[in-house]
Structure 1
Amino acid sequence: MMAGAGGLDDAGGGPARHIPVLLDEVLRALDPAEGKIFVDGTFGAGGYTRALFAAGARVVAIDRDPDAIRDGKAMEAASGGRLRLVQGAFSRLDEYADEPVDGVVLDVGVSSMQLDQAERGFSFRHDGPLDMRMAQAGPSAADIVNVFKPGDMTRIFGLLGEERHAGRIARMIEKRRDTRPFTTTRHLAEAIEALVGRHPKDKIHPATRVFQALRIFVNDELGELARALFAAERVLKPGGKLAVVTFHSLEDRIVKRFMAERAGGSGGSRHLPEVQAVPPTFGKPEKVIAASEAEAERNPRARSAKLRVAVRTENPSRPENHSIFGLPKLPEIHFFTEKR
């Protein structure tokens, strides 16, 4: 879903976007061709989808964001019936595909379109409502910071943002919200900066990790990714390819453990017990691929990108086993409604 705004797209009639991260590498891995069927679980601006059906393939493209689906309608109309857009969670991608598919691609995380829209509240570069909801429904980031207990916020900021000042920030939020609730991105970012301080040599803003943590929590991004990997296992044909692009260690660790465990390993963690050998549902994962220096120079957001690819075997899919991921225990998101 990594894309940027531009002019008009020649093929689809919609807005043109920047080339998605690791596009050439993803296409080489998936090997699209006429007659093949793919699921693009993170449609975004349609970069992967456009390239797949340009090679003659059919695509089921999914996105939680209704804006992405709306903006992709022109591309769908121009696809000659080879593109079907679905608004929904990619964790259910096996339900949206009508038949087994030749490949699944996931570009995990927030899109640059969402980051660039101040009204979506994903970034503090532009002031906007403290929202962060990809699906534009359910609890928002403002709900979390204005209702959750400091201990719960500390876990969210520390585990999902790896923020070393998590406890201090959580206590500051609790103290300030009683007199002035946090409703905008700038209000929260400035409050964090005032507390933590900012050295001129700091590469990132002191609120960056808290915003990342809130976004991941509000959208259950790690849980969605884990469920999507099992869904991909169920929908892929024997020989089908799973290609996943991640942008930080929490996501990449989930993909790495899934592919290792489904290839017959324990999931790649010394903290997890070895499991009895079972028929592998994926072959041995291919070597992880990073963005080239040239791509990272063109698009700084590609610098942290990693692509992992695995090939589906003929063995039947296995029951979901979320213990392989070692996901952190976090507060329930419905807590805020009960508190109210």
Structure 2
Amino acid sequence: MTEPTHQPSDDAADARSSDAASRHVPVLLERCLELLAPALEVDGAVMVDSTLGMGGHTEGVLRRFPHVRVVGLDRDTQAISLASERLAPFGDRFTAVHAVYDEIRDVLAELGIPAVQGVLMDLGVSSLQLDETERGFSYAHDAPLDMRMDATTGLTAADVLNTYDERELARVLRTYGEERFAPRIARSIVRARQEAPLTRTGELVDLVRASIPAAKRQTGGHPAKRTFQALRIEVNHELDALAAAIPESIEALAVGGRIVVEAYQSLEDRMVKQAFAQGASVSAPPGLPVVPDTHQPYLRLVTRGAEEADEAELARNPRSQSVRLRAAERLRATPDHLRPTPRRAA
């Protein structure tokens, strides 16, 4: 985790800021603002945008709530730079930090913020990462097999494809991509890399397409979609980070604070649903005549199930097609027996 960063504004920065705004339409922005409003309208409110990206959601918050301060987290240094330029006009109301979202309480401790009134998480791959074709997130363009959200560290997708054994590759594709043809694709990858290491997304797309029966390629979108999702999740340890980030984010909330999460695939949404359901449920054994305060729910579900984009949102922003939005409000402190194990010092 790095120190908070602030970027000055100049003519070049203004141009890059405008470019960031034009390239990114935040998903369900108005609904997110509506859900966060009761918590953010209090004096001195602070919100954490745990997935800063190009800053679209944060800009919406800063404009709608003139007294709110936002701390923006992102593991992508390019996103930090673009968002900082875009949000420079808001001065010290915005602080950018290079960090993964499961580090939220470490970041707040370093900034001297004991608790926040809002947390926003917009999960998955960002518009920036998809648009930068050389980063290898998209199956629509030939590029190096990278897929790292933080390009400064960690294994690339090429490393995974060229070093994991066949059984492990199949597990990754099946578990993270829900790919029914995972064994066939893994077998093709291992066979191909015996001739030469895989280095380009185009090579992988061709391998996946050839591994899936022709009749099955006609439905379900691009045949490589699930494989690319699985590799991205594996390379960035997304589900491990999310499993820690949800309880850490809840612990960062003050009483009355709200958390809003936008997920784009079933594995993420299931984790969010389960964490919120645990917090909104009585944790005492069934049959007790009186439920102790220490076993009362500590969250209230603000949305009824997962909300989806309506027709107007879909027309405005095609990326919203698969979004599943959930929100919850903190009612009281988390009971000791349900509190997450403290993270090791960063």
The TM-score with structure 1 as length reference comes to 0.84
**Corresponding position of 2:182:** 166
**Which residues of 2 match residues 45-124 of structure 1 at below 5 A?**
45-54=54-63, 55-56=65-66, 57-97=68-108, 98-124=113-139
Question: Could you tell which deviates more after superposition, 126-135 or 68-77?
Answer: 68-77
**Corresponding position of 1:16:** 21
**Structure 1 segments unaligned to the other structure (5+ residues):** 1-7, 267-276, 322-340
Residue by residue, what CA displacement relative to the aligned partner does 1:145-168 show, whole Å, maximum 9, x if unpaired? 101011111111011111111001
Q: Distance in 2 between matches of 1:302 and 1:73?
A: 24
TM-superposed deviation, 1:10: 9.3
1:300 partnered with 2:318: yes
**Corresponding position of 1:312:** 330
For the residue of structure 2 that corresponds to 1:227, the secondary structure is helix
**Which residues of 2 match residues 271-290 of structure 1 at below 5 A?**
278-287=295-304, 288-290=306-308
Q: Distance in 2 between matches of 1:305 and 1:15?
A: 21
For the residue of structure 1 that corresponds to 2:91, the secondary structure is coil
Q: Distance in 1 between matches of 2:147 and 2:49?
A: 22
**Corresponding position of 1:153:** 169
**Corresponding position of 1:39:** 48
For the residue of structure 1 that corresponds to 2:71, the secondary structure is strand
Q: Distance in 2 between matches of 1:316 and 1:252?
A: 22
Q: Distance in 2 between matches of 1:35 and 1:29?
A: 18
1:26 partnered with 2:46: no
Q: Distance in 1 between matches of 2:142 and 2:276?
A: 40
Distance 1:184 1:11, change over 3 A: closer
Residue identity (%): 39
Contact 1:9–1:15 (8 Å) recurs in 2: no
The structure carrying a bigger helix percent of its residues is 2
**Corresponding position of 1:232:** 249
TM-superposed deviation, 1:195: 2.5
Distance 1:177 1:128, change over 3 A: same
TM-superposed deviation, 1:297: 2.4
Contact 1:14–1:72 (8 Å) recurs in 2: no
Task: Give the one of 126, 140, 156 matched to 1:125.
Answer: 140
**Structure 2 segments unaligned to the other structure (5+ residues):** 1-12, 284-293, 342-346
TM-superposed deviation, 1:203: 4.6
TM-superposed deviation, 1:316: 3.6
Distance 1:27 1:9, change over 3 A: farther
**Corresponding position of 2:287:** none
Q: How many residues align?
A: 305
**Corresponding position of 2:269:** 252
For the residue of structure 1 that corresponds to 2:120, the secondary structure is strand
TM-superposed deviation, 1:198: 4.3
Q: Distance in 2 between matches of 1:11 and 1:139?
A: 29
Question: Could you tell which deviates more after superposition, 75-84 or 168-177?
Answer: 75-84
Distance 1:228 1:109, change over 3 A: same
**Which residues of 2 match residues 127-146 of structure 1 at below 5 A?**
127-136=142-151, 137-146=153-162
Q: Distance in 2 between matches of 1:244 and 1:9?
A: 30
Residue by residue, what CA displacement relative to the aligned partner does 1:42-78 show, whole Å, maximum 9, x if unpaired? 0001011101111211000000000001112223432
**Corresponding position of 1:187:** 203
Distance 1:46 1:278, change over 3 A: same
Contact 2:177–2:230 (8 Å) recurs in 1: yes
Contact 1:102–1:239 (8 Å) recurs in 2: yes
Superposition RMSD on alpha carbons, in Å?
2.2
Distance 1:191 1:78, change over 3 A: same
Residue by residue, what CA displacement relative to the aligned partner does 1:103-149 show, whole Å, maximum 9, x if unpaired? 00000000121011111111121111101110112011111110101
Q: Distance in 2 between matches of 1:124 and 1:197?
A: 19
Question: Could you tell which deviates more after superposition, 227-236 or 59-68?
Answer: 227-236
For the residue of structure 1 that corresponds to 2:295, the secondary structure is coil
**Corresponding position of 1:330:** none
